[in-house]
Amino acid sequence: MLTEIFIDVRTPEEIEIVSIDSTYHIEWQDILNVKEIASFEDKIYLFCRSGVRSENAKNILLNAGYTRVLNIGGFEEASEYIKTKRENPQN
């Protein structure tokens, strides 16, 4: 069974202000540390404040061989996306 992993790539200071429950935190420039929590087969969802850093992180992971990586955008978009995904896990 594939695992779905949600990762916030913002700074610790940003996380202190607001965060989403049950998500991981790895700053975008350290995203290759994802190997500690995810396999190449897992579906990885990335988000940040506006979507720019999560896009950078996505590209790093794709170049490293991860194939199921999705940038779900900025914090507000990600919050809604994760809420919907958790309410309807089949989607």
Give yes or no for residue 78 having a pLDDT over 80: yes
DSSP calls for the chain:
---EEEEE-S-HHHHHH---TT-EE--GGGGGGGGGT--TTSEEEEE-SSSHHHHHHHHHHHHTT---EEE--SHHHHHHHHHHHHHSTT-
Average pLDDT, the chain: 95
| Mean pLDDT calculated for residue range 58-71 | 98
Q: Encode pLDDT of 13-28 as tens digits.
A: 999 999 999 999 999 9
Give yes or no for residue 2 having a pLDDT over 70: no
